[in-house]
A and B are shown apart, each in its own frame.
Chain A
Amino acid sequence: MIHVFSFKDFNYIYDVGSGSLHECDGETAAYLKAEYEDGGDISAFPPELVKRAEEEIKPLKEAGLLFADEVKARPVKSRFVKALCLHICHDCNLRCKYCFADEGAYHSRREFMSEQTAKKAVDFLIANSGDRKILEIDFFGGEPLMCLQTIKKVVAYAKDKAAKNGKKFLFTTTTNALLLNEEARDFFNAEMENVVISLDGRKEVHDAVRKTANGKGSFDLVIDNAKQFVRSRGEKNYYVRGTFTAKNTDFSEDVMFLAENGFDSISMEPVVTDIAELAITNGHLAAICDEYERLAERYLEKYKKGEGFNFFHFNIDLEGGPCLAKRVSACGAGNEYFSVTPNGDIYPCHQFAGDEKFLMGNVYDGNIDGRIRSQFVENSLFTRKGCENCFAKYICSGGCSANNYHFEGDVNKPYTLTCAMMKKRVECAMHILARKKAGI
């Protein structure tokens, strides 16, 4: 299967079976699309064009770079746990309108995870990790920095237990940066493999949704903390992670704002909400896809000027990247990755937290509901409905189980709105890769 697409004046052919990307002229692209992708009428194409295109296809086909057969890899079905999202705090010092976590409370009471429960979660992870050496814990909330002292104790405990069990922990924290002071900064820089800072971009965009408990915008309270932190971070990983909504479908402005304010590792995600004024609908799709193209062009302009930055969704590695087994496996939620709420309850991931239908156990008894886990273990690209003929399937793996469930009612039914955005992002990423390789 091939996918032929254009980006402005550039034409590309992506071969799904081999994962190869090719560039071609417009006439060849039009012919290949008509003949091999759309199955349409090719009688209008001059015979000499068809002959030339077929002659060029032949050696690529023989080399396994075009029309390559798809290899049916087996999904990863490990029974070992590799990562936990620790909801260290079901409370937040912001009241963001679009928060999927009910402004930190997860549709329940506001509470903090006790040190004892957090340590039990660490024990649970180690006990269920089999022979896997590298384990991951993400401190999540609510706002984790409301519980910095607990996080410090948990990190120390986990490192000690890891050393005794031949493991190594990689820690991540997701924070709104409101309490990202010198103490937190120093601790994060010493201990966190990755830090995700929530910041939506321009002040007016950020303040419209990310408000304090008294209803004021939080931009001025967090921007300096975020900048100072990033400056202090050195070579360690971080992402400034924004959310765009129906109110800012011109989100390339926000990405550029962040890039111009010294953040060089940026992600900008579509909102997941049912609040009508913020929710992204099919009616927004055309504008959003245009905006991704605009972002790709602006990204390349910055790159050309030697001011390049890292945009999460424009990263694509067609020469290396993950193996096919990983590409056909879903994200690992409910199988290798779980979230743990403040009372120790275990859910498939943070986006299922609080939904009793997906309650899988508790770290205090250490058991996981085998019936629910089996549903997630069986999830893969091959169980996703409608992914078979999608060119992006080995890149997105069938999408997010939680989004699928919340919007389509079935973890295996891809959420069509996010599919469209994903495909556009992949095309932009491929265009960027091609231009970088061509020296722009």
Chain B
Amino acid sequence: MIKTIAAPREKKVEGCGECRSTCQSACKTSCTVGNQSCERITREQSPEKNK
């Protein structure tokens, strides 16, 4: 039995370039892009971050 756990909500290919610098995160030595969030969506969901 194969059960889908998670799948991308949309196929986002092109980048807006607004994402945060990977190296400004927690690690400084083993940066992981895949655990970042999309900055554009984050800011759309939290408008105060645009101010």
Contacts and interface: CB of A to CB of B under 8 A. Distances in A.
Interface in A380-403: 392, 394-397, 400, 403
Contacts of B4: 20-22, 60, 65
B19 A395 contact: no
Interface string B18-51: 1111111111111111111111010000000011
Given A76-B15, A320-B41, A241 B26 contact: yes
Interface string A21-35: 111110010000000
A395 B32 contact: yes
B13 A325 contact: yes
Contacts of B34: 316-317, 321-322, 327, 392, 394-397, 426
Interface string A415-435: 000100110011001000110
Given A18-B8, A19-B8, A396-B32, A324 B13 contact: yes
B8 to A, nearest CB: 5
A194 B24 contact: yes
A90 interface: no
Contact of B23 (A18, A57, A337): A337
B5 A320 contact: no
Contacts of B18: 132-134
A336 interface: yes
A240 B32 CA distance: 17
A260 interface: no
Interface string A309-331: 00011011111111111110101
Interface string A57-91: 10010000100000101101010101101000000
Interface string A340-377: 00000000011100000000000000000000000000
Contacts of A96: none
The A contact surface, by secondary structure, is mixed
B20 to A, nearest CB: 6
B44 to A, nearest CB: 11
B12 A324 contact: yes
Contacts of B1: 24-25, 28, 56
Nearest to A55: B2
B23 A320 contact: no
Contacts of A56: 1-2
Nearest to B38: A322
A350 B24 CA distance: 11
Nearest to B34: A395
A323 B20 contact: no
A69 to B, nearest CB: 11
A136 B24 contact: yes
Nearest to B30: A269
A63 to B, nearest CB: 9
Nearest to A82: B21
Given A315-B35, A321-B38, A326-B19, A241 B5 contact: no
A172 interface: yes
A332 interface: yes
B19 to A, nearest CB: 5
A154 B8 CA distance: 41
List 5 tightest A-B contacts by C-beta distance, closest first.
A395-B34, A325-B15, A83-B21, A239-B26, A323-B12
Given A25-B1, A403-B30, A422-B30, 12 more contacts: A20-B4, A20-B6, A21-B4, A21-B5, A24-B3, A71-B11, A82-B21, A136-B21, A138-B24, A321-B34, A337-B23, A400-B30
19 contacts: A19-B7, A20-B6, A20-B7, A24-B2, A28-B1, A65-B7, A71-B11, A83-B20, A83-B24, A267-B26, A316-B35, A317-B34, A319-B6, A321-B36, A323-B12, A326-B33, A349-B23, A433-B6, A437-B5
Interface of A: 12-13, 18-25, 28, 53, 56-57, 60, 65, 71, 73-74, 76, 78, 80, 82-83, 85, 100, 132-134, 136, 138, 168, 170, 172, 174, 194, 196, 239, 241, 265, 267, 269-270, 272, 312-313, 315-327, 329, 331-333, 336-337, 349-351, 392, 394-397, 400, 403, 418, 421-422, 425-426, 429, 433-434, 437-438
